[in-house]
Amino acid sequence: MKLDAYIRKRLESSKVLVMTHLIAGFPSLAANWEMLEEMGQAGVDLVELQMPFSEPVADGPTFARANQHALAQGLKLDQYFGLMEKAAKTYPFPLLMMGYYNTVFRLGHQAFCETLHTRGGVGFILPDLPVEEYGDLFAHSQRCELHPIMLMAPTNTDERLARIGRHAAGMVYAVARKGVTGGKTELAGGTYDFVARCRRATDQPIGMGFGLRQGEDVRRLQGQVEVAIVGSALLEAWERGGRPAYRALLAELVAART
């Protein structure tokens, strides 16, 4: 099933979906699997698996530190894809690769798409790759039935949003505010005006992330976007209170879907 069709089907029983995020190798692969177990039990709708990178330009301090830790522990690309493949065979939620273009460049566009597809991914998010630089990555994605998830930002002009929207597949990722991940986002009129601009640029489902931290944030996005994306807050919950705190936040986020 295509990602946009999956999202619309899930929305028949929820007012908004929840997409969660983890960084492979932080704090360990074993802990990652426990996180995925909790996501599966909570019933999240989609999951981003981030491949660590040394210069994660879109990530705030929490994620940047986690990236460095995972790399220092020696996480390898094959371990990342091993985690993805195991999760894809175990859980029903679609998996998106999140990472930086360096990984794709090292593998080559064709090899990257073929590997991601065979290891269970349905798409990818590359926040440092402008739409003009995708080249044949679009063609290889289509051939491998992958969704390149485009980012739309409040600083984009309407013309640029339209250009991004022409390449959107599966969903788009609307960045809730300027800056990097992690900081608190106040969901208000300006944010919803931005969502309206995105709607005019694409007919794909819209996910919104950057700064969503609690169930109330998810609830406020009901009727505004199709997917609420939560990452840093979950990682911080794990660091603060381990698996019980992680489980509690997941339950709060999922409960806010309806």
What is the residue-averaged pLDDT of the chain? 91
pLDDT at 180: 44
Q: Single out the residue of 201, 193, 161 nearest to residue 176, CA to CA.
A: 193
Distance separating alpha carbons of residues 49 and 36, to the nearest angstrom: 10
Which residues does residue 98 pair with via DSSP β-bridges, in sequence order? 50, 125
Q: What is the pLDDT of residues 60-100, one digit of tens each?
A: 676 677 777 776 777 889 999 999 999 999 999 999 999 99
> Average pLDDT, stretch 195-202?
97
Residue 184 in tokens: 């608190």
Instruction: State the burial class of residue 240 (Cβ atoms within 10 Å of its Cβ: 0-12, 13-18, 19+).
Output: exposed
Q: What is the pLDDT of residues 221-245, one digit of tens each?
A: 999 999 999 988 999 999 999 999 9
The per-residue DSSP string of 6-28 comes to HHHHHTTS-SSEEEEEEETTSS-
> What is each CA distance from 145 to 88, 160, 184, in whole angstroms?
15, 25, 35
Distance of CA 29 to the CA centre of its chain: 19
**93-117: b (≥16 Cβ within 10 Å) or e:** bbbbbbbbbebbeeeebeebbbbbb
Residue 31's CATH number: 3.20.20.70
pLDDT at 60: 61
pTM: 0.91
Q: 91, 80 in Cβ contact below 8 A? A: no
Q: What is the pLDDT of residues 104-143, one digit of tens each?
A: 999 999 999 999 999 999 999 999 999 999 999 999 999 9
Q: What's the domain count of the chain?
A: 1
Domain limits at 226? 3-255
Distance separating alpha carbons of residues 71 and 54, to the nearest angstrom: 7
Which residues does residue 152 pair with via DSSP β-bridges, in sequence order? 174
Q: What is the pLDDT of residues 22-36, one digit of tens each?
A: 999 889 999 999 999
On the question of pLDDT at 185 being above 60, the answer is: no
Would you name the residues annotated as active-site residues? 48, 59
Cα within 13 Å of Cα(168), Cβ side: 26
Distance separating alpha carbons of residues 121 and 118, to the nearest angstrom: 8
Residue 76 in tokens: 């390898």
